[in-house]
Amino acid sequence: MAEMSEGFDEQRFASLLAMAGPSCALELTQRLDEDLSRISQALATAEMAADLPALHAQSHVLLAIAGSVGAEKLHLLSRRLNDKMRAADGSRVSELLADIVVDLGALIQRVRLARKTLMPR
Amino acid sequence: MMKPANRHTLTSVLLIEDTPSLQLVYGTVLSGAGYPVRVASSAAEGIAAFTKEESQIVLLDLGLPDRDGLDVMREMLALRPDTRIIVITANASINKAVEAMRAGAHEFLVKPFDENRFLTAVQNAQDRAISRSSASRENARKDAGPGAPRPFLGSSDVMERIHSKIGSVANSMATVFITGESGTGKELAALAVHASSHRAKGPFIALNCGAIPHDLLESEVFGHVKGSFTGAISDRPGAATAADGGTLFLDEICEMAPALQTKLLRFLQTSTVLPVGSNRPQKVNVRIICATNRDPLDAVRRGHFREDLYYRLFVVPIHMPPLRERGNDVVEIAEAALLQFAEEEGRSFDGLSKEVLDLFRRLPWPGNVRQVLNVIRNVVVLNDGGLVTPNMLPEDLTEPNDASRTLVQPLVADPPEPEVEGLLGRSLAEVERIVVTATLVRYGGSVPKAARVLDVSPSTLYRKLEGWAKT
């Protein structure tokens, strides 16, 4: 989990889970896991196919989720990708995506850890 | 967590968002604040839920998988125009915000989610929804009752047509452009349009564009934020915001500075207000009524008034006729004023004599209704009561062929027409007074004609004359 501490607002994430309350927090982490994993898969597919509209769509969802849960660095990276895609700028996208994949993976791990702690024993 | 002010009146919110985790985040916050929430995951599902239920507030993600979010919003607003739609998007561009606001969005939120901004936006929408439904109920109640009283006196044919036009236009959103000489009742006509409309329970905000210094007018219309200029010690909403849900009456519209005309045009196109010093546009729902005592088309020709703004505003024109063209209305107005002022002053009068009525019918009344009211007030204050006869009238109220003296007489006993040499050595204020007086003499005491020659509005001239009369 060391990777996630950089550019991640733990307090924001914790307050989001607290706001959801015990009953919804578990479901929220499950949905986050599913959404983030889906985005990760979709980004990889879109990169392989050089599908800029798909990258645009995925960056839109990712920046919204990342910003909501406090993943600030990932939010910044995905906003950068979103801006590039909106401008139909395909340059240096692979490098940007490489950074996104790392942070996205870390966020998924962070969410799974939170989910684990929320599960009834 | 921020809570809405009144939990008992919360309306349900329709949330249209396709990402499951975000649905849960938004839904959790809304439920926690007491709002009943209904969630839809696509445009189709959202439209179906909207059609089925009376949600007054919709939270709409613009990036939906099956349809463009703005199209969805337009469809909803076409079905129920009163709906408050808050759009949410990851695209923070100003163009997108303007496009959404222009299409009718209540507010524009940029992702990522910020709890406070989110709840503030929903609460604002909630407040508007409540006031709107209260107003609708009140209007429905009013509509069921007897007809509204007539807004102003006058049963001449020309005024009957104006009453009828006001009744026809009141409930539309169309901009009303009222023209007419000073004192003809333009503001009363604007009030009548407002009072007869569904917005009657909303505010009626009047702003005289000719009476406010040009450098303050923008702040007066659109408001300002703290620190935006020297003296802006706190945030202050402008007239356009104050009139939200009601009517904004812009008097002497042709006196508006060109730079502000551009901003007014933008406001009319987008229905959004951008206070001075702010970068957050705010959506308002305002009906515009404007008025001028100039010929607006002439102001366009002279380059004083933007042509595009003219065409945007000049949708339903209402021309208030001068009193001299209203036949017997002067008698109705004078008699009603006598009753009202006598009651206010605690006097008892027996009406107007035949001679006075005949004189009133013959007089040209260059100051129109305002002048009649001043004359009657003068009579009531300076006399104890009885039948009003010609000797009780102000001395300066004379026959038409001597009308030039009516306005000038109180100002200077013997109006001079000095040469330039005679002006040298005088203060600028004295020169102004001499020139204005001489112009009035030349144009037979007609304030509108003198104002045209001096290139000021008649009301400006009336204000000057009133000020000088007191000195």
Q: Is B21 on the interface with A (CB under 8 A)?
A: yes
- The stretch B342-362 carries a mean pLDDT of 90
Most confident residue range from A97-111, B183-197, B324-338, B411-425: A97-111
- Residue at token pair 């008097």: B251
At B48, list the tokens.
């179906």
Residue A53: exposed, middle, or buried by beta-carbon count in 10 A (0-12, 13-18, 19+)? exposed
CA pair distance B72, B17, nearest whole angstrom: 12
Select from A26, A29, A61, A118 the residue whose CB has the most chain B CBs within 10 Å, as the one to mutate to test that interface: A61
Select from A37, A38, A60 the residue whose CB has the most chain B CBs within 10 Å, as the one to mutate to test that interface: A60
pLDDT at B418 over 60: no
Distance of CA B57 to the CA centre of its chain: 28
Question: Which DSSP state fits A66?
Answer: H
What is B169-320's CATH superfamily?
A: P-loop containing nucleotide triphosphate hydrolases (3.40.50.300)
DSSP H/E element including B272:
strand B272-273
Q: Answer positive or negative: Cα dihedral of B180, B181, B185, B188.
A: positive
- Residues 50-109 of chain A with CB under 8 A from chain B are 57, 60-61, 63-68, 75, 79, 82, 86
- The pLDDT value recorded for residue B462 is 75
- The pLDDT value recorded for residue B421 is 62
Asked if this assembly's ipTM is beyond 0.85, the reply is yes
Q: In what order do the strands lie in the sheet with B107-110?
A: B37-40, B13-16, B57-61, B84-89, B107-110
CA pair distance B40, B23, nearest whole angstrom: 9
- The pLDDT value recorded for residue A104 is 95
Task: Verify whether the Cβ–Cβ distance B19 to A67 is below 8 Å.
Answer: no
Three-class secondary structure of residue B58 per DSSP: strand
Who wins on pLDDT, B405 or B14? B14
Task: Verify whether the Cβ–Cβ distance A34 to B112 is below 8 Å.
Answer: no
Return the C-alpha torsion angle B464, B466, B467, B469, nearest 10: 120
pLDDT at A17 over 70: yes
Please provide the average confidence, as pLDDT, over all residues in chain A.
89
Task: Verify whether the Cβ–Cβ distance B21 to A31 is below 8 Å.
Answer: yes
The model's pTM is 0.46
Buried b (16+ CB within 10 A) or exposed e, B103-128: bbbbbbbbbbbebeebbebbbbbbeb
Task: Verify whether the Cβ–Cβ distance A60 to B63 is below 8 Å.
Answer: yes
- The pLDDT value recorded for residue B5 is 37
Who wins on pLDDT, B132 or A57? A57
Three-class secondary structure of residue B184 per DSSP: coil
Buried b (16+ CB within 10 A) or exposed e, B434-465: bebbbbbbebbbbbbbbbbebebbbbbbbebb
Q: Is B59 on the interface with A (CB under 8 A)?
A: no
Three-class secondary structure of residue B204 per DSSP: strand
Which of B1, B25, B32 shows the shortest C-beta gap to A68?
B25
- The pLDDT value recorded for residue B58 is 93
Domain assignments of chain A as residue spans, ordered by start? 8-118
- Residues of A within 8 A of B19 (CB-CB) are 35, 61, 64-65
Q: Which long-range contacts (CB under 8 A, 24 or more apart) does B362-366 make?
A: B362/B399, B362/B400, B363/B324, B363/B330, B363/B397, B363/B399, B363/B400, B363/B403, B364/B324, B364/B400, B364/B403, B365/B322, B365/B323, B365/B324, B365/B330, B366/B403, B366/B406, B366/B407, B366/B445, B366/B446, B366/B447, B366/B448
pLDDT tens by residue, B227-247: 766 666 667 778 888 888 899
Task: Verify whether the Cβ–Cβ distance B112 to A66 is below 8 Å.
Answer: yes
Specify the range with the lowest mean pLDDT, choosing from B76-85, B116-125, B193-202, B443-452. Answer: B443-452
- The pLDDT value recorded for residue B292 is 93
Cis peptide leading into residue B410 (ω within 30°): no
pLDDT tens by residue, B164-197: 888 888 877 788 999 999 889 898 899 889 988 8
User: Strand B287-292 to strand B247-251: parallel, antiparallel, or no bridges (unpaired)?
Assistant: parallel
pLDDT tens by residue, B359-407: 999 898 888 988 898 899 889 988 888 999 999 998 777 655 444 334 3
Helices (H), A2-92: 2-5, 10-48, 52-69, 72-86
Specify the range with the lowest mean pLDDT, choosing from A30-39, B270-279, B327-336. Answer: B270-279
Q: Right CATH number for A8-118 from 1.20.120, 1.10.287, 1.10.10, 1.20.1250? A: 1.20.120
CA pair distance B464, B460, nearest whole angstrom: 6
Give the up-direction half-sphere exposure of residue B30: CA atoms within 13 A in the CB hemisphere: 26
Distance of residue A61 Cα from the nearest chain B Cα, in angstroms? 7
- The pLDDT value recorded for residue B94 is 56
CA pair distance B411, B469, nearest whole angstrom: 6
Which of A24, A32, A65 shows the shortest C-beta gap to B28?
A24
In which band, very low, low, confident or very high, does the pLDDT at B133 lie, cut at 50, 70 and 90? very low
Who wins on pLDDT, B103 or B14? B14
State which residue of chain B sits closest to A79, comparing Cα positions: B90
A19 and B115 Cβ atoms separated by less than 8 Å: yes
Who wins on pLDDT, B462 or A82? A82
- The pLDDT value recorded for residue A102 is 94
Domain assignments of chain B as residue spans, ordered by start? 7-139, 169-320, 322-394, 405-471
pLDDT tens by residue, A36-87: 999 999 999 999 998 988 999 899 899 999 999 999 999 999 999 988 888 8
CA pair distance B93, B383, nearest whole angstrom: 69
CA pair distance B57, B84, nearest whole angstrom: 5
- The pLDDT value recorded for residue B470 is 58
Residues 6+ apart with CB under 8 A from B439: B450, B453, B454
- The pLDDT value recorded for residue A66 is 93
Quick one: fold of B7-139?
Rossmann fold (3.40.50)
pLDDT at B112 over 80: no
Residues composing chain A:
121
Specify the range with the lowest mean pLDDT, choosing from A57-71, B148-162, B199-213, B345-359. Answer: B148-162
Three-class secondary structure of residue A77 per DSSP: helix
- The stretch B67-86 carries a mean pLDDT of 83
State which residue of chain B sits closest to A54, comparing Cα positions: B65
Task: Verify whether the Cβ–Cβ distance B28 to A27 is below 8 Å.
Answer: no
CA pair distance B171, B193, nearest whole angstrom: 8
pLDDT tens by residue, B426-453: 778 878 888 888 887 777 677 777 777 7
Task: Verify whether the Cβ–Cβ distance B112 to A63 is below 8 Å.
Answer: yes
Residue B75 neighbours by CB distance under 10 Å:
15
**Identity (one letter) of the amino acid at B393?**
L
**Identity (one letter) of the amino acid at B293?**
N
Residue B88: exposed, middle, or buried by beta-carbon count in 10 A (0-12, 13-18, 19+)? buried
- The pLDDT value recorded for residue B10 is 65
In which band, very low, low, confident or very high, does the pLDDT at B323 lie, cut at 50, 70 and 90? very high
- Domain range B322-394, CATH class: mainly alpha
Establish whether domains B7-139 and B322-394 are of one fold.
no
Q: Is B25 on the interface with A (CB under 8 A)?
A: yes
- Nearest C-alpha neighbor of B75 from the set B95, B104, B97: B104
- The stretch B23-43 carries a mean pLDDT of 87
B178 and B291 Cβ atoms separated by less than 8 Å: yes
Three-class secondary structure of residue B20 per DSSP: helix
Please provide the average confidence, as pLDDT, over all residues in chain B.
79
Task: Verify whether the Cβ–Cβ distance A35 to B111 is below 8 Å.
Answer: no
